[in-house]
Chain A
């Protein structure tokens, strides 16, 4: 699995992990993210069981394990958090931030030592060593209880399944040609996202943020003007449709 540093200043660093060449076939390629502050680290959407040893191997190249004091799961999907039962055994004194809606479901992945911190529907702010990270509501995009993570300092928006693209695990990290990228995203958003109303509300709220980089859980990162292009494209896309070209 490869590590990419997305942002670094004197208070915190953003990492992206992904494009794993050892990933078993037939499982969807995923991007995992981590924010490291002075004393702590927040691991976001750590992925499925199949990825666990690869993820752990990669992470401890950057930080000691005890630094991972916080974990975030945007929603309940297996590609997001089915590794929980394994993390639960290796993390000490760690907290999982996840939608309140999914607590009873996510616990099925196995959770005895990690503490579940339910995120209320309206979202909340996590502050790690003075670094603010906002859990922003993204309900019904696609999961009915779902959050993004926004870092106001770096302008990074970890957008979960929003902005996801289905493509090979050798794909470049960033979107270079937005128009060419559309076919890789269209089906995913139309089929997995159920609500146009939720979509429009999210687009309106995200436009108010100063997003420099939008980082989805599958596919490529959107930077600069591609963020605005994505918001325009998504705003006009009809979602919740089946078999529509």
Chain B
């Protein structure tokens, strides 16, 4: 099992890559809009689709930004918790080795405080991991719906005049490629989140 920090860092980097790819999607959405205007009546059915692509781009962009924030926070909490784990490990050595010290009980207050903090961080970590998991699930649901847009764009392309056919297919290709890339990154992140969930149990 890989180290928590390495796993969270990989999740953060996956999401960061997703955010960059989403920018391509935004560009595709505005290209599609321009194209629909140009194509006029021959692409009448394509116009509502461009709105859909636009919405899809903005949802994936904002959702990946939110996931990115959550993943960074997860890494920060993991670091804080690691600090409490470490100091408690040291303290257990102290309790073992200073058992005959007249002042050993003076450590109790600090130890209890650190234990509480460790527990609070553990809870926050588990909760955030859960939210991250469901946010990733939502995102992959969103990605599945992109397939419909791609298919419908291709159908529209068949009906359009030949000069616009290529361009419309191109939009469909772009949405498809971007979605595939994001899908891969997101399902990787989902797998890692599950790994972290198992670790924290």
A153 at the interface (CB under 8 A from B): no
Chain B residues with CB under 8 A of A63: 103
Max chain B Cβ within 10 angstroms of own Cβ: one of A56, A62, A86:
A56
Tell whether, in the assembled complex, residue A53 and residue B94 are in contact, meaning their CB atoms are under 8 Å apart: yes
Within 8 A of A (CB), among B92-109: 93-94, 97-98, 101-104, 106-107, 109
Interface size of A by CB at 8 A reads: 18
Q: How large is the interface on B (under 10, 10 to 19, 20 to 34, 35 or more residues)?
A: 10 to 19
CB contact under 8 A between A85 and B101, given known A53-B90, A65-B110: no
Contact A92 B97 (CB under 8 A): no
Q: Shortest distance in angstroms between A64's beta carbon and chain B's nearest beta carbon?
A: 3
B83 contacts the other chain (CB 8 A): yes
How far is the CB of A67 from the nearest CB of chain B, in Å? Answer: 8
Which chain A positions have C-beta within 8 A of B59?
A: none
CA distance A52 to B106 in the complex (A): 17
Contact assessment for A66 and B106 in the assembled complex, using a CB-CB cutoff below 8 Å:
yes
How far is the CB of B175 from the nearest CB of chain A, in Å? 46
Contact code string A85-117 (vs B, CB < 8 Å = 1, else 0): 110011110000000000000000010000000
Q: Are B83 and A90 neighbours in the complex by a CB distance under 8 Å?
A: no
Q: 7 more A-B contacts (CB under 8 A) besides A65-B107, A91-B110?
A: A53-B91, A53-B93, A56-B90, A64-B103, A65-B106, A85-B83, A110-B83
Q: Which residues of B contact A (CB under 8 A)?
A: 83-84, 86-87, 90-91, 93-94, 97-98, 101-104, 106-107, 109-110, 114
> Would you mind naming 20 contact pairs between A and B with Cβ atoms under 8 Å apart?
A53-B94, A53-B97, A56-B90, A56-B94, A56-B98, A56-B107, A57-B97, A57-B101, A60-B98, A60-B103, A61-B98, A61-B102, A64-B106, A65-B107, A85-B83, A86-B90, A90-B87, A90-B107, A90-B114, A110-B83
